[in-house]
Structure formats: C-alpha cells, structure tokens
Amino acid sequence: MSIAHLIAPWWAIAADIRPSASSSAARTSSSDPRRSAAIGSSDASSSRATAAETGLPCDDPVRFGGESLWREIEAAVDVLPWVTLADEAGAVPGAGR
C-alpha cells in the first residue's frame, strides 16, 4: 500500500468536519539498522521518495530537525482564510513573522 493511500482516509475523515489537506509529511526512521531496513532506507533518500510519491514536502524531523517541515506548516496556516482575516484585524499575536 502506498503512503498516498494512507493519507486519503485522513482527508476523508476530516472532511466531515471541515475540508482539509496536508501541508507536509514527516517520516520516521532510526539509526537501528534492523528498524531502518523494515521501514526503508535510513537516509534522506527515503524522505525524497515519500515527497515524490505524495507531492508533499517530507523530512525526518527526529534525525534531521523539524525546521523545514515547520516552515511548510507555518506557510500553510498563514494563508488559511480565518487566519488571514484575524491577522488583518490585528487579532493574531506574532503574525507577520
């Protein structure tokens, strides 16, 4: 089963409440060779493969830090209509980063 097939049900469940989408994907890996073998390559190539498959930015925040994923999440949140409206009204502390 592909990763994209695992993401789709989450979107469908969330759609009952509010339409949603994913802004990025986090992939976990391990320095333990046995675990790495079970989940695929233990280097950045597995994140690149996941990004290519899903069309989402992907990284392993445990091994490589979460900065790149945080930038993607923050950018996706900043353009949400209710965040934009609140920001324009001055109601979002720290907005306009």
Domain ranges of the chain: 3-88
Render pLDDT for 36-59 as a digit per residue (tens, 0 to 9): 555 555 556 777 888 888 888 888
The greatest distance separating any two alpha carbons of the chain, rounded to the nearest whole angstrom, comes to 53
Q: What is the mean pLDDT of residues 12-25?
A: 81
Least confident of 40-44, 64-68, 72-76, 90-94: 40-44
pLDDT at res. 70: 92
Mean predicted lDDT score pLDDT of the chain: 76
Report pTM: 0.60
Higher pLDDT, 90 or 70: 70
Contacts (Cβ under 8 Å, ≥6 apart) of 81: none
pLDDT given at position 11:
81
With bands split at pLDDT 50, 70 and 90, how would you rate the model's confidence at 34?
low
d(CA 83, CA 97): 13
3-state SS assignment for residue 70: helix
